[in-house]
Amino acid sequence: MRVTPETPTVHIVGAGGQLGTALQERADRAAGQVLWRPLTSADIDIADEASVATALGGLGPADVVINCAAYTDVDGAESDRAGAERVNVAGPALLAARTAAAGAWLVHISTDYVFPGTPLDGEGAGSAEDRPDGYEPDDVRGEPATVYGATKLAGERAALAADGRTTVVRTAWVYTGGPESRDFVGTMRRLEATRDTVSVVDDQLGSPTYCRDLADGLWELVLAGPRDAVTGKVLHATNAGRATWFEVAAAVFAEIGADPARVHPTTTAEFPRPAPRPAYSVLSGRSWAAAGLTPLREWRAALHAAIADSASAGGSLP
């Protein structure tokens, strides 16, 4: 690649996290088109104006900032609202102010938790007949049920207010699939190796999303460039389809050659947490496709790929 002063640089903020790592692993999709630069928490404090100015001091109008950084401790946020607001609200606002001043483009990652967590028709986890494909971006009604969700929603609004060209991308139930990962799929793989049976809630319905598929989608978004179809918009990017956590766990067991009957369904009431978990957080992919972007594949196929990818990378459990 011939680097010129006009060559765009993609600044990956939160590069040490799950999605930031996946974006780097999938950066070959951007080879020859852009430069990319990882920024971890050691490189930038997104809620500190001086740190943002220093880390992004060379930001140019052709550049992109992907903000993957967030306060993601859903339970911890219930007793640390100030900490969650600092990272999830003040941080995006400062990044957006910086991209606005430079004429650059901010892609800000958000979450399904911005929704109240119940179907729009107010019935049970699997109903939502009025939105069979899940929540649309404009379906935010009422207040989020958690501090985490409230701060992420406020962060979306703060970013868009500071830079009207910001693109917000909401996603949900993100996992990598490796047996050592701290996400749901990794946890199920470890539990399969240590327990005879596992009880998993079957009354929370959502959109399981393979982190690498999400990263590929974000690279497609970035490489297509800022345009009216995406700037100033909120988009949803998840693997297609819907599942309960119980269904995901049973599928994980099946994928690794274990008996899925060892996974037993239970209810949310059996696992009380400081922050209530949404009964319904399916996200529709219509906005993503309407922006001319490739829909992410069906969640079951993505899970199969995730387990295979982790095995090829040497991530099989003994």
Going from the first residue of the chain to its last (318 residues), give the mean pLDDT of each consecutive group of 10, the final group possibly shorter.
70 98 95 94 98 97 98 98 98 98 98 86 45 85 92 98 98 96 97 97 97 98 97 98 97 98 97 94 96 98 96 57
CATH of the domain at 220: 3.40.50.720
**Domain for residue 268, yes or no?**
no
Torsion region of 241: left, alpha or beta (phi above 0 gives left; psi -120 to 50 gives alpha): left
**Domain for residue 276, yes or no?**
no
- Asked if 145 and 278 count as a contact pair (C-beta separation under 8 A), the reply is yes
- Which residue has tokens 């740190």? 51
Amino acid 18 reads Q
Q: Rounded to whole angstroms, how far apart are CA atoms 135 and 122? A: 13
Question: 199 forms bridges with which residues in the sheet?
Answer: 264
**Domain for residue 314, yes or no?**
no
Active site residues: 148
Q: What is the pTM of this model?
A: 0.94
**Domain for residue 4, yes or no?**
no
Per-residue model confidence (pLDDT) at position 119: 64
Q: How many domains does the chain have?
A: 1
Q: Rounded to whole angstroms, how far apart are CA atoms 263 and 257? A: 13
Range of the domain at 59: 9-176+207-240+281-297
**Domain for residue 274, yes or no?**
no
* Nearest CA among 167, 120, 172, 125 for reference residue 142: 120
* Nearest CA among 4, 9, 222, 241 for reference residue 109: 222
Per-residue model confidence (pLDDT) at position 187: 97
Per-residue model confidence (pLDDT) at position 131: 60
**Domain for residue 184, yes or no?**
no
Per-residue model confidence (pLDDT) at position 84: 98
Per-residue model confidence (pLDDT) at position 242: 96
**Domain for residue 183, yes or no?**
no
Question: Residue 218, CB half-sphere, CA atoms under 13 Å: how many?
Answer: 34
Phi and psi at residue 225, to the nearest 5°: 85, 165
**Domain for residue 132, yes or no?**
yes
Six token digits for residue 113: 């938790």
